[in-house]
Amino acid sequence: MKRIGILTSGGDSPGMNAAIRAAVRYAIYYDMEIYGIHRGYEGLIDGEFEKLDRRSVADIMQRGGTALRTARSERFMTPEGLERAARNLDTFKIEDLIVIGGNGSLTGAKVLSDKYGVNVMGIPGTIDNDLAYTDNCIGFDTALNTVLDAITRIRDTSSAHERTTVIEVMGRKCGDLALYAGLTGGAEYVLVPEFEGDINELCQKIIESANVGKLHSIIIRAEGYSVSSVDLVEQLKERTGRDVKLVVLSYLQRGGSPTFRDRMFATECGVKAIELIRDGARNRAIGELEGEVRDFDLGEALSVEREFRQDLFRGVDILSK
């Protein structure tokens, strides 16, 4: 009987549980054994394996976080850690491993496959949306909705006090959360790592907005932007003479019940991973392209370069004038 391992790694993202549930129940449906590995690559190194059955994944789909728990593993990046991880898979006779995570996690999976021949199926799970081969990542939609909800609330109080508010969002080196939330939340400006932006232009815009009677300005700053939030707020205060507040959304963005879109995509990814393993496919990355869930060669997928949506960036400016 085929034995599969499944783990979640890196930052958790809402919807990971739906992917785990789908993979576990489809694996059992196709007469395979499936082992949950706790705490990502840390648990892989320490041998924290648990055989899962249909009931193990009951009542998890609607929850954020990950039932398998997660970690960022420094040890997995060392040759010793990698070897221990591979040895544990060997001991449990697991030849196929499903990894749900972001860029770093899928890159780690590829190393395991290159060096030790483990067959890996990568599922994109990260609120950062920083995997270029796929149009969507599990958790991105829920996080966006959380950010939008925050913008709506902050806008109310910013208007009441005629303030400028800088909202810092996550994303690591990727500005997608900031860009998409800025566009659909009606922000005046977004600052993202992919594009230097111009703080003079931003100050000008804040002043002009106030002059035409706008009661507030909302600026979305991606955490990876070159100027820190605190420095930015100071510069804006000084150069515009306005009252400027900072709201850092931080880990709020990672929690919460997943949206329909995240549950659906995650479920399809979990099913796809199992069907690929059943069909003997090797080292694939699952993702979404043109609205369809598809699979790609893992190595090729990880080498795709991200394209920044300049059109959306311009759209934020044009729409908020």
Q: Which residues bind ligand F6P (CB under 6 A)?
A: 10-11, 72, 102, 126-128, 170-172, 223, 254
Distance CA 242, CA 206 (A): 9
Place of tokens 């820190």: 228
Closest separation in Å from C-beta 143 to ligand F6P: 8
Identify which of residues 38 and 254 has a Cβ nearer to ligand F6P in the complex. 254
State the DSSP code for 258.
Answer: P
Identify which of residues 254 and 272 has a Cβ nearer to ligand F6P in the complex. 254
First CA to last CA distance, the chain: 62
Q: State yes or no: is 128 an active-site residue.
A: yes
Radius of gyration of the CA atoms of the chain, in A: 21
Closest separation in Å from C-beta 170 to ligand F6P: 3
Residue 205 and residue 188 in contact, taking contact as beta carbons nearer than 8 Å: yes
Identify which of residues 205 and 254 has a Cβ nearer to ligand F6P in the complex. 254
- With residue 284 as reference, give the H or E element that holds it: strand 284-289
Buried b (16+ CB within 10 A) or exposed e, 256-292: bebbebbbebbbbbbbbbbebbbeebebbbbbbeeee
User: Which structure tokens are listed for 167?
Assistant: 């909202």
Distance CA 10, CA 13 (A): 9
User: Which structure tokens are listed for 6?
Assistant: 């499944």
**Which residue among 12, 96, 128, 141 is the active-site one?**
128
Query: Beta strand pairing status for 96-101 and 189-191?
Result: unpaired
Closest separation in Å from C-beta 193 to ligand F6P: 11
Q: Could you tell me which of 292, 2, 298, 254 has the C-alpha nearest to residue 139?
A: 254
Closest separation in Å from C-beta 248 to ligand F6P: 12
Closest separation in Å from C-beta 295 to ligand F6P: 23
Q: Please list the active-site residues.
A: 128
